[in-house]
Structure 1
Amino acid sequence: MVEWIRLQLDVDGFDDEAFEPYLRRARASGITFTTMADLGDTEDHQRALYNLNKTCSADIPDRGEFYTYDQYVTQRIDVPTFHPEGVILAIHDGAWIGMSTTSLHAAERHAFSEMTGVLAPYRGKGLSLALKLLAIRFVRSSGYRWLTTFHHPRNTSAITMNRRLGFVDQLSEGL
């Protein structure tokens, strides 16, 4: 059995300014950022999110078969933790090229980074950092202090990116 890497970020101590250049650089290259809430939480947009998530998730080690669309909606969208404001999208020339989805868990008073992914042709340009910055801002504006995530230990690029942002190994007293 694989021991997943569990990470957490104290959002109150996060330094936005250190990662703002990634956002500016992406915008300067013609990439825009929006949320599912701004676009509209419609079935068409849910399908587009599903397709982007499925494509980006294919690179996760030992991911297994991805949800069907109906399973995705039932388990990821039609749940109390889903908030369209927490679905950050990167768009280039009208195409969805990146995403960061964050769920809010009111009972536990923490947010969870469900998925951050960028299509292969757009990787290596800091776009994941820009998306995650906007996700962290969403968490902070929602009044949550802790943002958690977990990764397969072979998903070193995601682990490295999150640690660069200040995520540390999860401490149980932090939640």
Structure 2
Amino acid sequence: MTSHDPAPTGGPRSIESLSSLTTGQVDAVLTLLAEAARADGQQAVSEQGRLQLRGGERAGVRHLLLTVGDTSVADTSVTDTSAADTLVGYAQLEDTDPVEAPAAELVVHPAHRGHGHGRALGTALLAESGKRLRVWAHGGHSAARHLSQVLGLTLFRELRQMRRSLADLDQPEPALPEGVTVRTFVPGKDDAAWLAVNAQAFAHHPEQGSLTQRDLDDRKAEAWFDPAGFFLAERGGELIGFHWTKVHAAEGLGEVYVLGVRPGAQGGGLGKALTGIGLRHLAAQGLPTAMLYVDADNKAAVSVYERLGFTTHETDLMYRTET
């Protein structure tokens, strides 16, 4: 799908919807995301969204490129997608959840904001999704809240990023439930078992619970992946829980990346023990701070993390069309 309309400044605005991106288009989008992150202090597109830029077509994923023709841009870091058009906006739409509306993320280059490009992308997303849409606003900035109102979307999900210092981490050796042992992940050997337990532990979670082998392979191929920080809990040789940690080296952050316990093994203190094991591992790397993400309406989890010393650092908001 391609749409055209006059841009408020410069030349004509064009929005192209694609099932996959060329290498040049991927580079242009990544440059745009980096410029936006420097201006905003955070990424506008999630890790999953950034991984889905590469590797060709993916079922249910669409990429919307907003370009403006014949513009003169002082910031030469903005990469041209063609000789005449400059990429100033990007959106990604993922329609893989069998129940929920398609989910989207979008960003406009900082040098081109205030000219209606965000609204144009949002309108294109509504058309692409058949007016069934969920949109993330990472950081919950006022401009994103305003755009959601303009598009007729309402708030329905709040995702908190929580942090705590690791400098004062003073936790005893975690006490594992009887019969439970912990070892680290072996790539290739443990993939299928981990995907199965992850799906069970996050059956209620639309993003995490639907991870596939391709999604896992994408993450294993990232520079940050380290199986030494990926802990598996077993009972009788059967996987029942895990704590996958992640290191954001540039930011000096360790992350409780994914922590899950299989239904039936919950309630015995395994989650708390796995959390402690992961935090001790991150502290041993010399990282000053740990972070994690948790849904605000998961009161039990928020309470657990608060007791562990975590406090809310920032909030991501998701808006959706009325259903």
TM-score range, shorter chain: 0.7 to 0.9
Give the secondary-structure state (helix, strand or coil) at the position aligned to 2:210. coil
RMSD (Å), alpha carbons: 1.8
Q: Does 1:126 align with 2:300?
A: no
State the AA in 1 paired with 2:265. Y
TM-score normalized with structure 1 length: 0.82
**Which residue of 2 is the match for residue 167 of structure 1?**
310
Identity over the aligned pairs, expressed in percent? 25
Q: Against the structure 1 CA distance between its residues 100 and 25, is the aligned structure 2 distance closer, same or farther, given a 3 Å change threshold? A: closer
Matched residue count = 159
**Distance (whole Å) between structure 2 residues aligned to residue 65 and residue 87 of structure 1:** 17
Task: Compare CA radii of gyration and give the structure with the larger one.
Answer: 2
Q: Does 1:24 align with 2:175?
A: yes
Q: In 1, are the aligned partners of 2:200 and 2:209 still within 8 Å (CA)?
A: no
Q: Which runs of 5+ in 2 are unaligned?
A: 1-154, 315-323
**Which residue of 2 is the match for residue 70 of structure 1?**
214
- Aligned equivalent of 2:296, options 130, 150, 153: 153
**Distance (whole Å) between structure 2 residues aligned to residue 51 and residue 146 of structure 1:** 31
Give the secondary-structure state (helix, strand or coil) at the position aligned to 1:122. coil
Q: 1:107-135: per-residue Cα shift (whole Å, max 9, x none)?
A: 11111111111111111111111001000
**Distance (whole Å) between structure 2 residues aligned to residue 107 and residue 85 of structure 1:** 19
Q: Against the structure 1 CA distance between its residues 43 and 64, is the aligned structure 2 distance closer, same or farther, given a 3 Å change threshold? A: closer
Q: In 2, are the aligned partners of 1:52 and 1:96 still within 8 Å (CA)?
A: yes
Q: In 2, are the aligned partners of 1:14 and 1:166 still within 8 Å (CA)?
A: no
**Distance (whole Å) between structure 1 residues aligned to residue 162 and residue 310 of structure 2:** 6
Q: 1:49-97: per-residue Cα shift (whole Å, max 9, x none)?
A: 222222212133x5476122112221x2221121101111111000010
TM-score normalized with structure 2 length: 0.46
**Which residue of 1 is the match for residue 230 of structure 2?**
87
Q: In 2, are the aligned partners of 1:85 and 1:138 still within 8 Å (CA)?
A: no
Q: Does 1:46 align with 2:46?
A: no
Structure with greater helix share of residues: 1
Query: Equivalences for 1:95-134 in 2 at 5 Å?
Result: 95-134=238-277
Q: Which runs of 5+ in 1 are unaligned?
A: none
**Distance (whole Å) between structure 2 residues aligned to residue 144 and residue 46 of structure 1:** 28
**Distance (whole Å) between structure 2 residues aligned to residue 161 and residue 24 of structure 1:** 16
Instruction: Point out which structure has higher relative CO (alpha carbons under 8 A, 6+ apart).
Output: 1
State the AA in 1 paired with 2:201. C
Q: Against the structure 1 CA distance between its residues 63 and 71, is the aligned structure 2 distance closer, same or farther, given a 3 Å change threshold? A: closer
Offset at residue 25 of structure 1 (A): 4.8
Q: Does 1:10 align with 2:171?
A: no
Offset at residue 138 of structure 1 (A): 0.9
**Distance (whole Å) between structure 2 residues aligned to residue 150 and residue 64 of structure 1:** 12
Q: Against the structure 1 CA distance between its residues 25 and 50, is the aligned structure 2 distance closer, same or farther, given a 3 Å change threshold? A: closer
Structure with greater strand share of residues: 2
Q: Against the structure 1 CA distance between its residues 111 and 64, is the aligned structure 2 distance closer, same or farther, given a 3 Å change threshold? A: closer
Give the secondary-structure state (helix, strand or coil) at the position aligned to 2:264. helix
Query: Equivalences for 1:135-150 in 2 at 5 Å?
Result: 135-150=278-293
**Distance (whole Å) between structure 1 residues aligned to residue 171 and residue 302 of structure 2:** 19
Q: In 1, are the aligned partners of 2:162 and 2:293 still within 8 Å (CA)?
A: yes
State the AA in 2 paired with 1:94. G
